[in-house]
A = this chain, B = another copy of it.
């Protein structure tokens, strides 16, 4: 690797974030309405320039906070898109991140200083700016694959949850029903969740046991 020269023409570097959350029976993603050209008025992924003093992850977290008022998310790097013509103005390389949030503890409307922010169903996405549609498709694919062999669903749930809660998140992401008995057998055999001893109450039915994830780090279970 040669020495960087200050006069070397440089591309710009951004981060763009796919923030997924499951609401009711829908996999949703955070989008921002652009109020600047190009693609003014179009929806786009939250994101922005990487500042010189911050890491890529820090940039992603900062943008999520600024544009979506989101804190406390699971975050992992997805892919870096660098086609020379992906931005019509100039060369922009974007490092994309997959983020997951628990929809029950966060309201998108309370943030958003960069434009209108909205949670949009992944089933009927509007036309997106730049190559963001391709990025979203790639992220959904990764999320679907990874939920099958890791504890990544922890990003979508509060600290305490029932096995039915967990199963519903899986079903929404995979887009198909799962057998309750087989699901529980598999989840419990991996040991990624442990019972907290508490039980749900209030419903006119049998209370459910609460569980929590044993580790807050990503664990690959096969």
Contact = CB atoms under 8 A, between A and B. Distances in A.
Interface of A: 1-4, 8-14, 16, 34, 36-37, 44-45, 47-50, 52-56, 77, 79-80, 82-84, 87, 89-93, 95, 114, 129-130
Copies in the complex: 2
A3 B16 CA distance: 14
A37 B3 contact: yes
Contacts of A93: 13, 50, 56, 95
Contacts of A77: 79-80
A13 to B, nearest CB: 5
Contacts of A55: 82-84
A130 B47 CA distance: 28
Contacts of A47: 1
A49 B4 contact: yes
Nearest to A53: B84
Given A10-B11, A83-B55, A95-B80, A4 B89 contact: yes
A93 B10 CA distance: 11
- What are the 6 A-B residue pairs with the smallest beta carbon separation, nearest first? A56-B82, A10-B10, A4-B12, A80-B80, A52-B91, A80-B95
A77 B12 CA distance: 19
A172 to B, nearest CB: 23
